[in-house]
A and B are shown apart, each in its own frame.
Chain A
Amino acid sequence: MSHSSHLLDVQQLKTYFYLFDGVARAVDDVSFYLDRGEVLGVVGESGCGKSVTAQSIMRLIPDPPGRILSGRITFDGLDLVQLSMEQMRGIRGKRIAMIFQEPMTSLNPVFTVGDQVAEMFRLHEHCSRHESLERAVEMLARVQVPAPEKRVHEYPHQLSGGMRQRVMIAMALACQPQILIADEPTTALDVTVQAQILDLMTRLKHEIDTAIMMITHDLGVIAEMARRVVVMYAGKVVEEADTASIFNHPRHPYTRGLLKSMPRIGDRAEKKRRRLSEIQGMVPGLLALPEGCRFHPRCPDAMAVCRRQLPALELLEPHHKVRCWLYLSA
Chain B
Amino acid sequence: MATYIAKRLIQGLVVLLGVSMICFIIFRYMGDPVLTMAGKYATFQEREEVRRALGLDKPTYVQYARFIWNAAHGNFGKSYISRVPALGLILERFPATFELATTATLLAFLMGVGLGVLVALKPRAWQNRLIMAGSLGGISMPTFLIGILLIMIFAVYAGVLPPFGRGQTVTIGFWRTGLLTVDGWKHLIMPAVTLATFQLAVLLRLTRAGMREVLTEDYIKTAWAKGLPPLKVIFKHALRNVLIPVVTVAGLQFGEVIAYSIVTETIFQWPGMGNLILTSIFESDQPVVVTYIMLAAFMIISINTIVDILYAILNPKIRYA
Q: How many residues of B contact A (CB 8 A)?
A: 22
Does any Cβ of A come within 8 Å of B316's Cβ?
A: yes
Q: Choose among A89, A90, A107, A157 the residue that contacts B222 (Cβ–Cβ < 8 A).
A: A107
B217 at the interface (CB under 8 A from A): yes
Tell me whether B226 and A120 are in contact (CB under 8 A): yes
B218 near A: Cβ within 8 Å? yes
Those 3 A-B pairs whose CB atoms lie nearest each other, nearest first: A93-B227, A92-B227, A93-B226
When C-beta atoms are compared, the residue in chain B nearest to A97 turns out to be B225
Chain A residues numbered 125-157 whose CB sits less than 8 Å from any CB in chain B: 155, 157
B128: chain A residues within 8 A (beta carbon): none
The interface stretch among A1-9, A98-106, A200-208, A217-225 is A98-106
Measured in the bound complex, the distance between the Cα atoms of B224 and A97 in whole Å is: 11
Contact assessment for B219 and A92 in the assembled complex, using a CB-CB cutoff below 8 Å: no
Residues of B220-261 contacting chain A, CB below 8 A: 221-229, 232, 237, 240-241, 244
Query: How would you classify the secondary structure of chain B's contact residues: helix, strand, loop or mixed?
Result: helix
- A101 to B, closest residue via Cβ: B218
Q: Which residues of B contact A (CB under 8 A)?
A: 217-219, 221-229, 232, 237, 240-241, 244, 314-317, 320
Mask of A147-171 contacts with B, CB within 8 angstroms, 1/0: 0000000010110000000001001
Q: Distance (Å) between the CB of B248 and the closest chain A CB?
A: 15
Task: List, in ascending order, chain B residues with CB within 8 A of A262's CB.
Answer: none
Q: Smallest distance from the beta carbon of B226 to chain A beta carbons, Å?
A: 4
Interface residues of A in 73-120 (CB under 8 A from B): 88-94, 97-98, 100, 102, 105-111, 119-120
Residues of chain A within 8 A (CB-CB) of B222 are 100, 106-108, 168, 171
What's the count of A-B pairs with C-beta under 8 Å? 71
| Cross-chain contact B241 with A110 (CB below 8 angstroms) | yes
Number of A interface residues in the complex (CB < 8 A): 29
Seen from chain A, the residues whose Cβ lies within 8 Å of a Cβ on chain B are: 58, 60, 88-94, 97-98, 100, 102, 105-111, 119-120, 123-124, 155, 157-158, 168, 171
- Specify the chain B residue showing the minimal Cβ separation from A85: B230
Closest CB of chain A to B236's CB: distance in Å? 8
Cβ of A157 and Cβ of B317 under 8 Å apart? yes
Chain B residue nearest in CB terms to A107:
B219
From B217, B241, B317, contact of A155 by CB (8 A): B317
How far, in angstroms, from A102 to B226 measured CA to CA in the complex?
Answer: 16
Assess whether B226 is in contact with A123, with CB atoms less than 8 Å apart.
Answer: yes
B317 close to A123 (CB less than 8 A): no
Contact A110 B228 (CB under 8 A): no
7 contacts between A and B (CB under 8 A): A60-B224, A93-B227, A105-B217, A108-B219, A108-B222, A110-B315, A111-B237
Whether A89 pairs with B219 at a CB distance below 8 angstroms is no
How far apart sit A36 and B232, CA to CA, in the bound complex (Å)?
32
Whether B225 pairs with A93 at a CB distance below 8 angstroms is yes
Nearest to A103 among chain B residues (CB) is B218
The answer to whether A109 touches B226 (Cβ under 8 A) is no
CA distance A327 to B19 in the complex (A): 83
Chain A: which residue is nearest B224 at the CB level? A60
A sample of 12 more A-B contacts (CB under 8 A), given A109-B317, A123-B227, is: A60-B221, A89-B227, A89-B229, A92-B225, A93-B225, A93-B227, A105-B218, A109-B219, A109-B316, A110-B314, A123-B226, A157-B316
